[in-house]
Amino acid sequence: MPLLEFNDLSVALPGMARPILNGVSLTVAAGEAVALVGESGSGKSVTARAALGLFPAGAAIGGHVRVDGADLVGADAGCLHEVRTGKASMIFQDPRAGINPVRRVGDFLTESLRLTGGWSRARAGARALELLTAVGLPDPVRHLRQYPHELSGGMLQRVMIAGALTAEPRLLLCDEPTTALDVTTQAEIMAILRRLQRERGLGLLLITHDIDLAAATCDRIYVMYAGRIVETGTATELLTAPRHPYTAGLLGSTPPLDGPLGRLTPIRGVPMGLLEAAPGCSFAARCPHARPGLCDRTAPDLARPAPVQVPASTAQRGPALVACHLADEIDGRPAMAAVCASPSEEDR
Amino acid sequence: MNTAPAPAPVPTPAPASPGGPLLQVSGLRKTYSTGGTQVVAVDDLSFSLHPGGALGLVGESGSGKTTTARMLVGLERPDHGQILVQGAPIAATVRGRAARLARAKAVQIVFQDPYLSLDGRISIGTTIDGVLRLHGCGDRAARAGRVRELLAQVGLGDRESAALPRQLSGGQRQRAAIARALAVEPAVLVLDEAVSALDVSVQAQVLNLLSDIRRDTGIGLVFVSHDLAVVRYVCDEALVMYRGRTMEHQPVADLLTAPRHPYTRLLLASVPRPGWDPDAIGRRRRALDVLPGDTGSPTAPTAPTAPTAPIA
Ligand SMILES: Nc1ncnc2c1ncn2[C@@H]1O[C@H](COP(=O)(O)OP(=O)(O)OP(=O)(O)O)[C@@H](O)[C@H]1O
Ligand SMILES: Nc1ncnc2c1ncn2[C@@H]1O[C@H](COP(=O)(O)OP(=O)(O)OP(=O)(O)O)[C@@H](O)[C@H]1O
Ligand code: SF4
Ligand SMILES: [Mg+2]
Ligand SMILES: [Mg+2]
């Protein structure tokens, strides 16, 4: 049984043309690092919050979200409390937003242990010290007495990770944990998260808009567009042979650090808002392969595509799934680059 | 692949001394005092930029990139050093309309947040028209034509021209901010993390635009970013800063393939890619750091110098 399981989850707000999440299915097993990738507004944060049983006020919810077997959709307060205080923890993009600026780091870390866990001050303090050491802070004893403003963003994010670990969760939900940090600090934070995931057997859901970061740190990747999972597979599969035009578009938009320096091939147009809906594939308006009469009429299901010729290094293909009518015809990055619209006309 | 007609280029700014550098920066230093301590934000920075050149300023958070950008546009006054644009010094204080216009014509800046250079209450087209009017550009009809031309150059049309900033997407707003800056026909355009907040698909649109502008005009770019791949795409030279000091200044291609300074190698190794080893990065960074742990502020008492000699 996976640690986290989304089963056909839909989240819809009244007055919107389309649901925020539309039939999302995903799993994270214990000890597994999984990434959820997509652009701004695609529904990543709503997904992360749903994993704690938090849904937008007034939303109609369909499907299931299970953490360690317990369904959070329609769950009672006791069950939600148990999941949020013991099984799953969340780390956010901006560490400063999640911590009271006038309280010391030590108080932040020991509060819940003492109030909800009934731990003594000394025992909670010792635990906080242990956690600050575990996240690689240089001077844990001193940091316990410091205020948030005395720490840099990278240090404070480590404090937040320590805070997320106090409850000894089995699942760590990381919502853009390094987006506000520079690249070297990002590497340090990712090293800590990966070590925790391996050593403690945690399930890790990494939410990011950076497909390279996802591929470098996670075993499997889900790609989200307009509230749907459009492609999923191993990191290698997605990077070397993306099957969904959106995934290929993300890769074609990312400037490479090495190799030939050709012109970038941006995806034309902009992501679909909540006030827009498409009767067929939600990517049709931006897709260079869209087939009139098919793509704009019926929404494609997330399904296993026919096997393709892939480089020998990626011969064993994992459980790739793609939501595209033409997935069997479209293969990968090179094809995309050739077909993609000219960058100058893409965004009227 | 690139079949669309190229948008009209911005006229090449005429260099005062033909062949001479557009921008010459020498010995720049900026210190801030906060709570009794002195922070050396930028220390002994020198570089020059030729017409059509593009220099990337890279470095981790707090390395002095924004401070440099702000000095280049006169938003911040250096403690030491000199900035020459087309051979003329950037005035530290500007008095009067003529001097203000001259400085605007020398250097323009685009920030990460496009709202900083757009007026939220008026349409994009009206904002740009205002800039043209201020700089005495033609009559109403001529300006309208020029507004359309400038917006077309950044891939925006009449609908976006009539829209308020908040009615546009983030990428469209950022391109409008770039069009506004180009309206002045500056000699140098400074971009401070101008693409960092954009989604990759939209970022790619703006990056292509910047490379078009470089190809079609003689404008000089100073491009601030901590993303080396983006710098590689836009710039021909890059200057790596660490705690205010210059670690390395090289053509981008050489910097990426044969980085000479250990700090540059660390920055490169930090970029996520297949086979990435973030554990090693933490260790290497601690070995380079004067202070343990994270990037501290480069406060004068504790970190007077960069850890290793700069390579310029
Ligand atoms: N509580 C809410 N009420 C109404 N709309 C919401 C709510 N939460 C999210 N949304 C909308 O749902 C969509 C998905 O939002 P979400 O925050 O999940 O995006 P995201 O993928 O995390 O984007 P980003 O990369 O910008 O963080 C957006 O259009 C957002 O405006
Ligand atoms: N107005 C100010 N007052 C005091 N210190 C300042 C001020 N502005 C910048 N600093 C300090 O100067 C140093 C350089 O800051 P700067 O903003 O130039 O860095 P940066 O390279 O742009 O960083 P980032 O990547 O985070 O934007 C930092 O230590 C910063 O704290
Ligand atoms: S279903 Fe059609 S429109 Fe959608 S991604 Fe596939 S080809 Fe493009
Ligand atoms: Mg989000
Ligand atoms: Mg800055």
Best mutation site among A40, A45, A209, A282 for ligand 1 pocket (most ligand atoms within 8 Å of CB): A45
When pLDDT is cut at 50, 70 and 90, the band that residue B15 belongs to is: very low
Q: What are phi and psi of A261, to 5 degrees?
A: -105, 75
- Contact B152/B139 with Cβ under 8 angstroms? no
Query: Of A126, A141, A166, which one is at a domain's C-terminal end?
Result: A166
Quote the pLDDT of residue B224: 96
Query: Do A137 and A240 have their domain in common?
Result: no
Looking at per-residue pLDDT, the higher value among A137 and A203 belongs to A203
Q: Which amino acid is at B80?
A: H
pLDDT: is B242 or A345 the higher one?
B242
* A16 and A125 co-located in one domain: no
A177 contacts A206 by C-beta, under 8 angstroms: yes
CA-wise closest residue to A203 among A174, A236, A237, A175? A174
Q: Does residue A279 sit within a domain?
A: yes
Structure tokens at B124: 């994009």
Among the candidates A166, A187, A208, a domain finishes at A166
Residue in B closest to A248 by C-alpha: B201
pLDDT number for residue B102: 84
Considering only residues A12 and A339, tell me which one the structure prediction assigns the higher pLDDT. Answer: A12
Q: Answer with the one of A112, A143, A166 that is the final residue of a domain.
A: A166
pLDDT of residue A310: 54
Q: Is residue A270 included in any domain, yes or no?
A: yes
Q: Quick one: how many helices (H) and strands (E) in chain B?
A: 11, 10
Detail the DSSP E strand segments found in A167-301. 171-175, 203-208, 220-225, 228-234
Residues A27-36 have pLDDT tens digits of 999 999 999 9
- For residues A111 and A127, membership in a common domain is answered with yes
- Ligand 3 pocket check: which of A268, A324, A339 to mutate, most ligand atoms within 8 Å of Cβ? A324
- The DSSP call for residue A222 is E
Would you say A252 and A265 are in contact if contact means Cβ atoms under 8 Å apart? yes
Rounded to a whole number of angstroms, the distance from the CA of B126 to the nearest CA of chain A is 20
Residue A92 in domain: no
- Say how many CA atoms lie within 13 Å of B170 toward its Cβ: 19
For residue B120, the CA-to-ligand 3 centroid distance in Å is 37
Q: Are A40 and A209 in contact, with CB atoms under 8 Å apart?
A: yes
CB contacts < 8 Å between A and B, how many?
170
Structural domains counted in chain A: 2
Which of A73-82, A131-140, B2-11 has maximum average pLDDT? A73-82
Percent of chain A residues topping a pLDDT of 70: 91
pLDDT of residue B10: 37
Residue with the nearest Cα to atom 3 of ligand 3? Answer: A284
Same domain, A162 and A268: no
In a domain, A65, yes or no: yes
How high is the ipTM of this complex?
Answer: 0.82
Spell out the domains of chain B, with CATH numbers in brackets: 23-302 (3.40.50.300)
The answer as to whether A224 is a domain residue is: yes
The count of other CB atoms within 10 Å of the CB of residue B64 is 25
Residue B309: left (phi > 0), alpha (psi -120 to 50), or beta? beta
A154 and A187 inside one domain: no
d(C-alpha B274, C-alpha B20), whole Å? 43
Residue B220, classed as helix, strand or coil, is: strand
B43 ligand 2 Cβ < 6 A: no
CA torsion B300→B301→B302→B308, rounded to 10°? 50
Q: Which of the given ranges, A144-153, A267-276, B93-102, B230-239, has the highest pLDDT on average?
A: B230-239
Ligand 3 atom closest to the Cα of residue A281 is 4
Q: Are residues A109 and A232 in the same domain?
A: no
Shared domain check, A73 and A115: no
pLDDT (tens digit per residue) in B247-258: 999 999 999 999
| Cβ partners under 8 Å of residue B185, min gap 6 | B10, B11, B13, B105, B135
Give the residue ranges of DSSP H helices in chain B. 65-72, 97-106, 124-134, 140-153, 158-162, 170-183, 200-216, 228-234, 252-257, 262-269, 278-288
Which mutation among B29, B30, B32 tests ligand 2's pocket best, with the greatest number of atoms within 8 A of CB?
B32
pLDDT at B296: 39
Structure confidence at residue B17 (pLDDT): 47
Closest CB to A344 among B7, B268, B295: B7
A194 and A279 both lie in a single domain: yes
Cβ–ligand 3 contact at A281 (below 6 Å): yes
What's the average model confidence in pLDDT over A297-310? Answer: 82
pLDDT at position A82 is 92
Identify the band that residue B2 occupies on the pLDDT scale cut at 50, 70 and 90. Answer: very low
Choose, out of A42, A199, A344, A346, the residue to mutate when testing the contact with B (most B CBs < 10 Å): A344
Smallest CA–CA distance, residue A77 to chain B, in Å, is 37
Give the CATH number of the domain where residue A322 resides. Answer: 3.40.50.300
Q: How far does the centroid of ligand 3 lie from the alpha carbon of residue A262, in Å?
A: 25
Least confident of A89-93, A189-193, A217-221, B99-103: B99-103
Whether A296 contacts A311, CB under 8 Å: no
Q: Any CB–CB contact under 8 A between B17 and chain A?
A: no
What is the rounded distance in angstroms from the CA atom of residue B39 to the CA atom of residue B304? 10
Report whether A93 contacts A180 (CB < 8 A): yes
Question: Ligand 2: which residue has its CA nearest to atom 5?
Answer: B32
Q: Do A183 and B267 touch (CB under 8 A)?
A: yes
pLDDT digits (tens, 9 = 90+) for A224-273: 999 999 999 999 989 988 999 999 999 999 998 888 888 898 898 878 88
Residues A67 and A144 grouped into a single domain? no
pLDDT of residue A317: 52
A-chain residues within 8 Å CB-CB of B211? 263
Q: Are residues A291 and A312 in the same domain?
A: yes
Compare all CA atoms of chain B with the CA of A187 and give the residue at the minimum distance.
Answer: B278
Which ligand lies nearest the alpha carbon of A248? Answer: 3
d(CA A20, CA B5): 38
CA dist list (Å): A206 to A203, B261, B296: 10, 32, 27
> Rounded mean pLDDT of chain B?
84
User: In this structure, are A151 and A177 located in the same domain?
Assistant: no
pLDDT at position A251: 93
Please indicate, yes or no, if residue A94 is contained in any of the structural domains.
Answer: no
Confidence of residue B285 (pLDDT cuts 50, 70, 90): confident
Q: How far apart are CA A221 and CA A236, in angstroms?
A: 9
Q: How confident is the model at residue B103 (pLDDT cuts 50, 70, 90)?
A: confident
In this structure, is residue A93 part of a structural domain? no
Contact B294 A258 (CB under 8 A): no
> In Å, what is the CA distance from A208 to each residue of A121, A218, B171, B262?
37, 11, 19, 29
Residue B271 with chain A: CB contacts under 8 Å: 183, 212, 257
* CA of residue B32 to ligand 2 center, whole Å: 9
Indicate which ligand has the atom closest to the C-alpha of A46: 1
Distance from CA of B250 to the nearest CA of A (A): 16
CA gap B154, B133 in Å, rounded: 20
Determine whether the shortest distance from the Cβ of B61 to ligand 2 is under 6 A: yes
- What percent of chain A is predicted at pLDDT more than 90? 66
- Residues of chain B numbered 175-234 and touching chain A (CB < 8 Å): 199-205, 207-208, 211-212, 226-230, 232-233
Show the domain range for A324.
Answer: 1-87+169-348
Highest mean pLDDT among A226-235, B34-43, B99-108: A226-235
List chain B residues with CB under 8 Å of A219: none
Q: Considering CB atoms only, which of A185, A194, A267 is closest to B201?
A: A267
Q: Are strands B37-49 and B23-34 parallel, antiparallel or unpaired?
A: antiparallel
For the segment A51-75, what is each residue's pLDDT rounded down to a tens digit? 999 999 999 999 999 999 999 999 9
Tokens of B156: 């925006």
Cα angle B114, B119, B124 (rounded to 5 degrees) comes to 80
Give the alpha-carbon dihedral of A206, B270, A230, A286, to 10 degrees.
130
Reference A232, options A333, A323, A328; nearest CA is A323
Cα B181 to Cα A54: distance, rounded to the nearest angstrom: 43
Q: What is the rounded average pLDDT of the residues A114-126?
A: 91
Q: Is A174 found in the same domain as A162? A: no
d(CA A295, CA A305): 17
Average pLDDT over residues B239-252: 96
Q: Which residues contact A130 (CB under 8 A, 6 or more apart)?
A: none
For chain A, counts of helices (H) and of strands (E):
11, 11
A289 lines ligand 3 (CB under 6 A): yes
Tell me, what's the pLDDT at B312? Answer: 52
Inside any domain, residue A180: yes
Q: How does the average pLDDT of chain A come out, rounded?
A: 88
Confidence band for A121, pLDDT divided at 50, 70 and 90: very high
